[in-house]
Amino acid sequence: MRLPEMFFSILNHLGRSGCNEDIDKPVETSVTDLSVEAKPPPAIDSSWEANKVLLAAVFCQAFIEGIPLCFGIFENHYQDLGLPGHERSSWIGVCAIGMLYVGAPFINYLCEGLKFKPECFIQCAWAICVISMVAASFCTTINTLAITQGFLLGLSLLIIEMPSLIIVNTWFVKRRGFAYGLIFSAADIFGAGYGYLAQYVLHRHGMRATFLTFAVLAFVIPGTSMWFLRPRPCSPSEDASEESTARTEPLNNNECPESTIVDEPPHSRPAHLRPLLYLFLLGTCIQSFAYYIPSIYLPTYNTQVVASLVDGSNQNTNLLGVFNLSQIPGEFIFGWLSDRTDVHFLSTVSSLVASIATFLLWAGLIGDFPASLGTLMAFAGLFGGFGGGFLALWSRMSMCFDSKVQGQRVYSMLSMIRGIATFASGPISSALLKLGTKLQNQSSNPVPQTQTQTHRGIETRYKVMILFVACCMAVSALIAASGFFIERWEKRQNNRNSPPVVNGIDPENNCYRHQGTQIEDSRVPPLGLEKSAVGMNDYGRERGRDYCKDRRRRDGWMGE
């Protein structure tokens, strides 16, 4: 009898340890197990995936944005060829660069408001860029080049700028200034390299071969890297805002569980009601009026004033290369410093040094600096480095406002203002140059053509335009400096109008405050529920706030 008993006992044991036990036993799923089993997304700011996306943005966005930065070489070539309407050729570069910024709010609304995928915009921008370069290779007039090299190329820049930065924003928060500075400085690297490439191919093979070369490069490099430009995936434990991080602490008597830290300033007013927004927009507008004028007219100025007796084509390439290359350390350093230093101080330094360099080196108004290639090289380096660093500060300017949505809108508004000002700088610079020529001809002692290379810029027909650039940068520096006091006045007004904070709790905003950091109570579960992302998301924002209010009333933090 022992053998049958042993046989049935083995079968019974196998049945209990098999699937029958799972059927009889009730299924228990814990929200904690769900959150543990879910694969966490890559880390923000420091993961390899974040750096890979940043590298893809460099070879996709920056590669295409560097093409119009070498337009000064094309403009000089158009004037040498005597193309019909070459006196209006500056409009091509102005159109391409201006469209990069002017439609940013519309693209931002499509991506953030209507939830279009930014990857689709990037792919469309890549296709339009290639088409524009191929079409430009068959153009023989300035009007057709304005459509292809100006409008179509600018359209591709417009479509790729904001979607690419939106994707980068999902991966970078604390190092966002560094990321923006790297992208913008990389665009200047490509722009400087394009200048030498365009100069060589234009002189050896002509316009058609040059544009086709750019088309092949745009087809291969951005066409490969754009497939790695993807937004950061969000886990169930994260809020809808990518800029917030989860904070888990034990439940004490003086705080609510599972709050969320948000790296945002404690302002409650919308962006359009804050004077700081209009100060940023005004400073950016005035700075943009003057910033692109030297990059367009420096090659022509060098040919007509400095190198009027010799062939200055190679000098023009080096001059424009210095202007673009100097923006590389400028944008990178200013972007890196914006994560660590006050943005108003950096914007003041950026515009002030550019203004002093214009007065001192290009105009020769301060001191006796004659017009020479060395003087123009020094001016191009200082103006491009410090003036170009202003663009890398936009990321921190936009983060001076409350939410991610407001910050993205502010950035798009800054881009739009820069685009409008860049468009306006074209006719403004042409009118100023005509006025300077008229004043030069009316002078009682005009400077002979053979002696212009020994005189200062203030004594040439470019003097009115040079003074305009210098004064715009000086006014922009003054506005940026006033922003330091405006922001502190806003903080005092906000603290004066807000109720007192008791034991670290701000009853008005339903949040904790710790050293200026706002901690939202947006995902607080009811008492007794396990601390998990799934449970918190199921109960939502309103339930969590009601719970924290009840908890504060019970502990005596706020009255009934």
Q: 407-431 pLDDT, tens per residue? A: 778 888 888 898 888 888 878 888 8
DSSP assigned state of 392: G
Amino acid at 259: S
Examine the pLDDT at 28 and tell me if it is beyond 50. no
Task: Tell me, yes or no, whether 399 lies in a domain.
Answer: yes
Q: Which residue has the higher pLDDT, 46 or 237?
A: 46
Task: Tell me, yes or no, whether 2 lies in a domain.
Answer: no
Q: Are residues 227 and 371 in the same domain?
A: no
Which range (21-30, 233-242, 316-325, 465-474) has the least confidence?
Answer: 21-30
Distance CA 420, CA 284 (A): 11
What kind and span of H or E run contains 245?
strand 244-246
| Range ranked top by mean pLDDT from 378-387, 482-491, 498-507 | 378-387
Q: Are residues 104 and 155 in the same domain?
A: yes
Work out the average pLDDT over 92-116: 84
Examine the pLDDT at 448 and tell me if it is beyond 50. no
Distance CA 243, CA 45 (A): 11
Work out the average pLDDT over 223-239: 77
Tokens standing for residue 319: 């001059």
Examine the pLDDT at 267 and tell me if it is beyond 50. no
pLDDT value for 366: 67
Task: Tell me, yes or no, whether 254 lies in a domain.
Answer: no
Distance CA 145, CA 297 (A): 19
Work out the average pLDDT over 152-164: 91
Handedness of CA 136, 106, 422, 332 (dihedral sign): negative
Strand partners, 262: 244, 518
pLDDT value for 271: 74
Q: Are residues 100 and 136 in the same domain?
A: yes
**Cα–Cα distances in Å, from 160 out to 34, 228, 531?**
38, 14, 41
- Burial of 162 (C-beta count, 10 Å sphere; 0-12/13-18/19+): buried
Task: Tell me, yes or no, whether 249 lies in a domain.
Answer: no
Angle at 414 between CA 347 and CA 278, to 5 degrees: 75
Work out the average pLDDT over 287-299: 86
Question: Residues 303, 376: contact at Cβ < 8 Å?
Answer: no
Q: Are residues 180 and 53 in the same domain?
A: yes
Q: Are residues 207 and 329 in the same domain?
A: no
Q: Are residues 218 and 294 in the same domain?
A: no
153: domain CATH number?
1.20.1250.20
Phi then psi dihedrals of residue 244, to 5 deg: -100, 150
- Assign 113 a pLDDT band (cuts: 50, 70, 90): confident
Distance CA 225, CA 57 (A): 8
Examine the pLDDT at 87 and tell me if it is beyond 90. no
Angle at 409 between CA 419 and CA 226, to 5 degrees: 75
pLDDT value for 539: 41
Q: Are residues 347 and 293 in the same domain?
A: yes
Task: Tell me, yes or no, whether 3 lies in a domain.
Answer: no
Range of the domain at 86: 40-233
Average pLDDT of the chain to the nearest whole number: 75
Phi then psi dihedrals of residue 181, to 5 deg: -60, -40
Distance CA 518, CA 494 (A): 14
Distance CA 460, CA 432 (A): 12
Question: Residues 357, 296: contact at Cβ < 8 Å?
Answer: no
Examine the pLDDT at 218 and tell me if it is beyond 70. yes
Q: Are residues 414 and 474 in the same domain?
A: yes
Q: 338-352 pLDDT, tens per residue? A: 888 889 999 999 999
On the CB side of 247, CA atoms within 13 Å amount to 19
Task: Tell me, yes or no, whether 20 lies in a domain.
Answer: no
pLDDT value for 156: 93
Task: Tell me, yes or no, whether 187 lies in a domain.
Answer: yes
Distance CA 218, CA 17 (A): 63
Q: Which residue has the higher pLDDT, 451 or 553?
A: 553
Q: Are residues 80 and 154 in the same domain?
A: yes
Q: Which residue has the higher pLDDT, 88 or 449?
A: 88
- Assign 238 a pLDDT band (cuts: 50, 70, 90): low
Q: Are residues 263 and 229 in the same domain?
A: no
Q: Are residues 265 and 399 in the same domain?
A: yes
- Assign 306 a pLDDT band (cuts: 50, 70, 90): low
pLDDT value for 245: 39
Work out the average pLDDT over 493-500: 66
Q: 56-81 pLDDT, tens per residue? A: 999 998 889 888 888 878 887 888 88
Examine the pLDDT at 18 and tell me if it is beyond 60. no
Q: Which residue has the higher pLDDT, 2 or 535?
A: 2
Distance linking the first and last C-alpha atoms of the chain: 78
Angle at 152 between CA 148 and CA 155, to 5 degrees: 160
Domain count of the chain? 2
Phi then psi dihedrals of residue 520, to 5 deg: -80, 145
Q: Are residues 226 and 110 in the same domain?
A: yes
